[in-house]
Chains A and B, each alone.
Chain A
Amino acid sequence: MNLTLFIWRQKGRDTKGSLEQYEAKDISTEMSFLEMLDEVNEQLIKNNQEPIAFDHDCREGICGMCSQVINGVPHGPQQRTTVCQLHMRHFKDGDSIYIEPWRARAFPVIKDLITDRSSMDSIIQAGGYISVHTGGVPDANAVLISKENADTAMDASECIGCGACVAACPNGSAMLFTAAKITHLASLPQGQIEAARRVCIMTEAMLQNGFGNCSNHYECQAACPKGIRVSFIAKLNREFMKAHLKDSV
């Protein structure tokens, strides 16, 4: 099939970008979306034009590196699917496709479709961990964890840190991302001791890194390729309240 692409091109962080038009010809439905872009890039290189820069790595939907807004939707039209796992069978001949980078205050564009997402690492650095040193820990079965709690922790921990939730949010909030980590750790007995402190410093870090706040649009959940649920935000709010109630007593 043949497609018309409108792709965001931007030379660098401080330069102005714009949507440029490209033609993608003879695209097979078996290709992945990124393989389609590979094809376009090969042609651009052969025509002495600079290829389109985009982030990608594992191409199996787990590393969280790929990050494109396709026709206005982070990661594109297929639910619970990263760009790298999206296949061209979901498009049809003659389609126009708009491809843009993540758009959020906390994610400045580096080049074309590549953004700087180190602000998400900063949130984790603030407290997204259990403070355990290597060695000197009890036997793995010494602390039992109910299957229910282990499953909730796993559901939350499936987050791949791609930032689609932020890109989808009208406020550019990282609430779903932060809530997933809070829920993961607060669901486990090992994570309880630091729970109150953790939720306070992580939400603080979220604001300091230029992310907005949550006003319950739920766009994040719709965009999340791993099905992280907004109920985790409720869990974060609950943990936050608990922490502050403790403070005031």
Chain B
Amino acid sequence: MLLDGKCPSGPLSEKWERHRQNLKLVNPANKRKYTILVVGTGLAGASAAATLGELGYNVEAFCYQDSPRRGHSIAAQGGINAAKNYPNDGDSIFRLFYDTIKGGDFRAREANVYRLAMLSNNIIDQCVAQGVPFARDYAGYLDNRSFGGAQVSRTFYARGQTGQQLLLGAYAALMRQVKAGTVRLHPRSEMLDVVIIDGEAKGITVRDMVTGHVGSYAGDAVCLCTGGYANVFYLSTNAMGSNVTAAYRAYKKGAFFANPCYTQIHPTCIPVSGEHQSKLTLMSESLRNDGRVWVPKMNGDKRTPNEIPHAERDYFLERKYPGFGNLAPRDIASRSAKEVCDEGRGTGSSGFGVYLDFEDAIKRLGESVIRERYGNLFEMYDRITGEDAYKQPMRIYPAPHYTMGGLWVDYNLQSNVPGLFVLGEANFSDHGANRLGASALMQGLADGYFVIPYTIAGYLAQAVPGRVTAAHPAFIKSIEDVNSLTKKLLSINGKKTVNDFHRELGRIMWEHVGMARSEEGLKRALKLIPELRSEFWQNVKVPGSSENLNQELEKAGRVADFLEFGELMARDALNREESCGGHFRVEHQMPDGEAKRDDKNYCYVAAWEFKGLNYEPDMHKEPLTFENVALAVRSYK
């Protein structure tokens, strides 16, 4: 089946405006009759819940954390892009659009990306009005910095805590609506199922993580804003609780999962220190503005970095990509780092690390400027490694960070299941095969503040409000299903812990479905993952009961889903016989090792439909057409 993204016709720059004119509206007096369930309170969820509440809808907001202020958007460091062109350096909406499309290796929808670029400016205005303390210059104007994949300075930032400040802005707007009574909060609540009635999403089933009570909430529409799935790799920069469960269970109920193999490996993370490692810490990519990436020229050079003279250092990004140098896009920077380490030139005790050196920048600008720009990042690095990066180069290594794939949505952010909307990282829509830095925050907030408030009305206007209640048999069935899964997990009482299985899955995924993928490796993963899964269901040990707070039980449910989802990722990666963005197939590369796209055969979105666990999923294609940009080889040389 060919999927239709329902992109409006007309010139690129007029599509959104035209579409908005054609969308139906819900009368102000009727809005409160509609209940919208918003799952997740990161940037997308908090901004959506707040804005829908402001409009007068009746909103129920859910998050697994103890407070909606803690969604993992909070950890984004570097910044948020916008096409304001304040620095007068040639930026425009079209340029931001073009950079994003090109950065995504021509695997995103033109119309969506253009809308995103357009809305980027509104986001900055909105955030400033909320009191987000962006960096400013001495005249009181907003400051900008440059970022990977762009040749203009369009990134707005709040020290190294931009995600935190934007999320606190959205959280504050949400709290205001909680007080106003339009939004009801459900913290420490985990969504475990979506309820579909007559083909439309009409509710969710949720476990109260404190009491263990499993209950249902009926609504007129459901918005999943539940983030990405990088924790399928076990070690990633995601929060410990980040998971695929909400999205995956929606997939099992009929929502299509698009491009699951598009995962982003972030080039600048702190290297792994040992087996005990529970997560990886990202150092903002903005560091690459002033830091120079290098490894020794000589294999197995054991000298300390300061002992190695400049002539014996290989600044490999500057050498290979003179145009962009240290600011080459994430996938290219990551793969290059892995290559030099695989050659045996890596640094640190594990040999899996490259230097990020600030010596020249400190000489040029002075330590105080560097401290002003990155002080908190240097501090964080010191805290974790015990090393002072003002005196010696940082050590960095790539780590799974962001997932471009997600539930398939149309231009309205609606999945193929009517009434089920998906926002932010949880959807697949705007970043193609690779996301540029400082664009995730932009997308989360664009979806939540400026897209969903319009597009959801188009759906609601034709729905009868409050048509179903939680007394509907579909809800009772959903609760039974969730409870029986819980019971099953608790009854196995095997020998290995949930973490043991998660770590093992992570190893398989990193090895075979990671930065460089091959047919052989992917086929191996497709064999290993089901084996591990079947062992999980026979030998996992989940202690405690379901009737109170049980963190192992929470983890077990999430890992059980990752154990199925990993297979879908491998399958998608195997199907995509090309290299593009974050998806690199070793069989498809240029003679110089660059990714080789196949626009003739793979210029489409692969959206997978669940057909039962023991059956292969069906693939539906959404062809990607480009009317405004020419498909070019993505060269950053």
Q: Which residues of A are interface residues toward B (Cβ below 8 A)?
A: 11-12, 28, 30-32, 34-35, 38-39, 42, 45-46, 48-51, 53, 55-65, 78, 80-81, 85, 87, 89, 110-111, 114, 116-118, 120-121, 124-126, 128-135, 137-141, 143-147, 150-151, 153-154, 157-158, 160-161, 184-185, 188, 190-191
B140 touches A65 (CB 8 A): no
- In the complex formed, the residue of A with least CB distance to B541 is A45
Looking at the complex, which of B9-17, B66-74, B574-582 is the stretch in contact with chain A?
Answer: B66-74
Question: Using a CB-CB cutoff of 8 Å, which residues 368-386 of chain B contact chain A?
Answer: 379-380, 383-384, 386
CB proximity of B374 to chain A, nearest CB, Å: 15
CB proximity of B171 to chain A, nearest CB, Å: 8
Q: Known: A65-B65, A87-B384, A143-B128. Is A129-B175 also a contact (CB below 8 A)? A: yes
What 0/1 readout, one digit per residue, does chain B (471-515) give for beta carbons within 8 Å of chain A?
000000000000000000000000101010000000000000000
B467 within 8 A of A: no
A46 touches B541 (CB 8 A): yes
- In the complex formed, the residue of B with least CB distance to A47 is B543
Question: Using a CB-CB cutoff of 8 Å, which residues 89-107 of chain B contact chain A?
Answer: none
Q: Known: A35-B278, A62-B164, A129-B172. Is A141-B141 also a contact (CB below 8 A)? A: yes
Q: Which residues of A contact B282 (CB under 8 A)?
A: 60
A114 touches B239 (CB 8 A): no
Distance A87 CA – B168 CA, assembled complex (angstroms): 28
CB proximity of A88 to chain B, nearest CB, Å: 10
What 0/1 readout, one digit per residue, does chain B (141-172) give for beta carbons within 8 Å of chain A?
11000000000000000110100110010011
CB proximity of B15 to chain A, nearest CB, Å: 19
Question: Using a CB-CB cutoff of 8 Å, which residues 557-594 of chain B contact chain A?
Answer: none
Q: Which residues of A contact B69 (CB under 8 A)?
A: 64, 121, 124, 161
B497 touches A42 (CB 8 A): yes
CB proximity of A92 to chain B, nearest CB, Å: 15
Q: Which residues of B contact A157 (CB under 8 A)?
A: 133, 158, 165, 168
- In the complex formed, the residue of B with least CB distance to A139 is B125
Distance A190 CA – B51 CA, assembled complex (angstroms): 19
B135 touches A150 (CB 8 A): yes
CB proximity of B115 to chain A, nearest CB, Å: 15
Distance A143 CA – B239 CA, assembled complex (angstroms): 36
Q: Which residues of A contact B165 (CB under 8 A)?
A: 154, 157
Residue in A11, A31, A38, A134 whose beta carbon sits within 8 Å of that of B173 in the complex: A134
Q: Which residues of B contact A190 (CB under 8 A)?
A: 128-131
A134 touches B175 (CB 8 A): no
Q: How many A-B residue pairs have CB under 8 A?
A: 212
Q: Known: A39-B276, A46-B541, A57-B241. Is A129-B173 also a contact (CB below 8 A)? A: yes
B176 touches A129 (CB 8 A): yes
A128 touches B72 (CB 8 A): no
CB proximity of B227 to chain A, nearest CB, Å: 12
Q: Known: A35-B276, A118-B66. Is A78-B383 also a contact (CB below 8 A)? A: yes
Q: Known: A45-B497, A146-B140. Is A55-B278 also a contact (CB below 8 A)? A: no
A63 touches B548 (CB 8 A): no
Q: Which residues of B contact A12 (CB under 8 A)?
A: 548
B309 within 8 A of A: no
Q: Which residues of B contact A49 (CB under 8 A)?
A: 543
- Given A57-B239, A140-B134, A184-B133, 13 other A-B residues pairs in contact with their CB atoms under 8 A: A46-B495, A57-B72, A58-B240, A121-B68, A129-B173, A129-B175, A134-B173, A134-B449, A144-B140, A154-B133, A154-B165, A157-B165, A188-B131
Q: Known: A46-B541, A89-B386. Is A132-B130 also a contact (CB below 8 A)? A: yes
A34 touches B278 (CB 8 A): yes
Q: Which residues of B contact A138 (CB under 8 A)?
A: 125, 129
B436 within 8 A of A: no
Residue in A30, A60, A61, A65 whose beta carbon sits within 8 Å of that of B70 in the complex: A65
A62 touches B75 (CB 8 A): yes
21 contacts between A and B (CB under 8 A): A31-B274, A31-B276, A57-B70, A58-B70, A58-B239, A60-B237, A61-B380, A62-B161, A64-B69, A110-B549, A117-B67, A125-B175, A129-B176, A134-B50, A134-B450, A135-B449, A137-B128, A147-B140, A150-B140, A154-B135, A184-B131
CB proximity of A158 to chain B, nearest CB, Å: 7
B603 within 8 A of A: no
Distance A42 CA – B133 CA, assembled complex (angstroms): 42
CB proximity of A32 to chain B, nearest CB, Å: 7
B133 touches A153 (CB 8 A): yes
Distance A212 CA – B529 CA, assembled complex (angstroms): 54
CB proximity of B314 to chain A, nearest CB, Å: 28
Q: Which residues of A contact B544 (CB under 8 A)?
A: 50
Q: Which residues of A contact B72 (CB under 8 A)?
A: 57-58, 63
Question: Using a CB-CB cutoff of 8 Å, which residues 163-192 of chain B contact chain A?
Answer: 164-165, 168, 171-173, 175-176, 178-179, 185, 187
